[in-house]
Amino acid sequence: MKKEPLKNNVNDYVIRVFDSPLEVEAHAWDGLLALQNPAGMLNPFMRHAYLAAMHASSSASPETGWTPRFVALYAGETLIAACALYLKTHSYGEYVFDWAWANAYQQHGMDYYPKAVVAPPFTPVPGPRLLARDATSRVMLVKALMAWCEAEQLSSLHLLFAADEDITACAEAGLMLRHTIQFHWKNVAPTLVASRAALPHELERGALFPLGRPGGETLAPTPVASRAALPPAKFKDFDEFLASLNQEKRKKIRQERRKVAEAGVVFRWSRGADISVEDWDFFYRCYERTYLEHGNAPYLSRDFFVRMAKTMPENWLLFVAEREGVPMASSLIALSADTPSHDGLSTASEKEHKTAYGRYWGALERVDCLHFEACYYQPLQWCIAHGFDSFEGGAQGEHKMARALLPVKTTSAHWLAHPSFADAVERFLEREGQGIANYMEDLERRNPFKPAKPAT
């Protein structure tokens, strides 16, 4: 049910608040989303189909503590900005932990819940949160959110894992910023560009980093003056990736992969519409088992994945582990997708950044190191073979550095209505921020890649 529009006479725009993503026109929403990345690759977790499936499958619903309030700004009949906002009655499924803030409110006899969260449910993946036509519209949307939260007498507003443009708008509007750490893999060694500038011509022509054209034709030697400007080279295969790591990490990965292979486990993968209903069913058995083993019901229903297979098949890649032909584990990876043009054809080009996202996994049997193989090594090997640029490993997990996923700072923005609590949280965030900075420095010293050789 659409709320009555709120007119802003100064800027001449209208704010509408919807009770369901299904009430927002999908074409207009995805059109705004496409504008957030001019390169053309849509963030799958902000697609209208993804958010609609969360709602329609009852995975994110008032019954599970996620009450949708999609906020949209219109100039006339044109959608100029929008966001997915949820009223939360708890802090589960967010991955930016504010339990201490909620406890402090409770200890002072105040209600922290409901609060407002702007993020796709159960999805700790950085990306656009404020879909807007331009920077001005984005700032207007932030201010509209704050005004709406005040009018609804909500304790707080939280934008989680937001894109840089969103963080800039939030900072301009006076929100507090909070940093956390994730671990992402890039399809190029961090030392590759620095060391390539000093390579002799015979190595540049292919001995270490193949730069030849298809069919074996070799590129002419690169002039010395331009070598430092060479673009990063992607790994040609998993062995080259391993060779870029220091000896300890390389040996560890080989040992872990060997344990899985010696246990008789092999993998197969399916992408998009090639994932069968039987494989989706098997995946969900694994996914559900993982949650139940930890004493919790799964966040997402089977119906959610039915909808993903129907409306967003191109965004999913499934690995299934088998032993003697019997499935026994699986991992589901999300993929960025090309922006479709009006005629339904892809608008992607070879220059666009393609990202894979580690999302869900589960096993019906226990095999030593199977989790690492299913969730890291198989996806990384696939990314290298298919030219993907990066793999994001999700929230937390310092152990991911041993698998060559490097630390990346992610940022959220927060507004608290109560001035005294806002002051206290701001002081806390200053201390926490310094701790995060120190932690990042410590992690960077533990880089798993070989050190770069000095240029000569």
437 or 38, which is more confident? 437
Query: Which amino acid does the sequence have at 420?
Result: S
Q: What is the pLDDT of residue 351?
A: 60
Among residues of the chain, what percentage have pLDDT more than 90? 78
Whole-angstrom CA distances from 371 to 58, 88, 256, 375 are 29, 32, 10, 6
Q: b/e per residue, 411-429, with b = 16+ CB within 10 A?
A: bbbbbbeeeebbeebeeeb
Split at pLDDT 50, 70, 90, the class of 340 is very low
446 close to 401: Cβ distance less than 8 angstroms: yes
For residue 175, is pLDDT > 60? yes
Instruction: Look at phi and psi of residue 40 and say left if phi exceeds 0, alpha if psi is from -120 to 50, else beta.
Output: left
Where in the chain are the domains? 6-182+409-445, 185-408
How far apart CA 112 and CA 450 sit, in angstroms, is 48
For residue 61, is pLDDT > 70? yes
The CATH H-level (homologous superfamily) assignment of domain 6-182+409-445 is Gcn5-related N-acetyltransferase (GNAT) (3.40.630.30)
The CATH H-level (homologous superfamily) assignment of domain 185-408 is Gcn5-related N-acetyltransferase (GNAT) (3.40.630.30)
Q: What is the pLDDT of residue 39?
A: 61
131 close to 82: Cβ distance less than 8 angstroms: yes
Residue range 398-426, pLDDT digits in tens: 889 999 999 999 999 999 999 999 999 99
Nearest to 336 by CA among 93, 50, 129: 50
342 or 86, which is more confident? 86
Q: What is the pLDDT of residue 353?
A: 86
Is 6-182+409-445's fold the same as 185-408's? Answer: yes
Q: What tokens appear for 273 in the block?
A: 């519409």
DSSP H/E element including 381: helix 378-385
Phi/psi at 13 (5° precision):
-130, 165
Split at pLDDT 50, 70, 90, the class of 397 is confident
In this prediction, residues 211-240 reach a mean pLDDT of 53
For residue 213, is pLDDT > 70? no
Mean pLDDT score of the chain = 87
